Amino acid sequence: MVNPATEGLVKIRFELDPRDPEAMKSETLWAEEVRPAEYLIRNSPFYVYGISAEDTVHANRVDGILRFAGVAKRGGHSTYRIFLKDPRTFETSGFRENWQPLREIGCTYELAEATWSSVDVPPATDIFAAYRLLEDGESAGVWTFEEAHCGHPIGKTAER
């Protein structure tokens, strides 16, 4: 059975840091071919740093597997990871209350496991507002978070 969400997409393998003994060796991300050897990333990474949804990347086929070869163009999205504090899950009211303001400014998340997710911050969202809301959830003891990739332009002065 074909999943309509991934129909027509391919997987690109991203190698992860081999120096980290606890890390996985690689992560695959869904992508859409935009021209030969260039692909538009269609989901947020859980492990890869420096890549976000909607980035266009170069990939080469090696031994039948598409492998990441570099960034062709940035899509302007940023990626964060939320790690829920025990015993919370994404179903608890504490999470929902702290997530709601992020959702309202356009952020989405993709579950990796019951207690952590990848968060996508789209280009139209004020990155400083999103970051403050992530900090609010951390201050409230609901989650900790990390930045996996900031794709928003930060050279401009923003209202804080």
Instruction: Give the pLDDT score at 160.
Output: 38
- 157 pLDDT tier (thresholds 50, 70, 90): very low
| pLDDT digits 0-9 by tens, 101-124 | 999 999 999 998 888 899 999 999
State the residue range of the domain holding 89: 78-149
The residue from 28, 53, 73 where one domain ends is 73
**Same domain, yes or no: 65 and 107:** no
**Same domain, yes or no: 66 and 88:** no
The residue from 25, 50, 73 where one domain ends is 73
* Burial zone of 35 (CB within 10 Å; 0-12 exposed, 13-18 middle, 19+ buried): exposed
Alpha-carbon span 50 to 41, nearest angstrom: 12
Tell me if 158 is assigned to some domain.
no
| pLDDT digits 0-9 by tens, 8-67 | 899 999 998 777 666 678 999 999 999 999 999 999 999 999 999 999 999 999 999 999
* Burial zone of 119 (CB within 10 Å; 0-12 exposed, 13-18 middle, 19+ buried): buried
Instruction: Give the pLDDT score at 20.
Output: 67
Give the count of domains, the chain.
2
Query: Phi and psi (nearest 5°) for 149?
Result: -170, 125
For residue 130, the domain's CATH number is 3.30.70.260
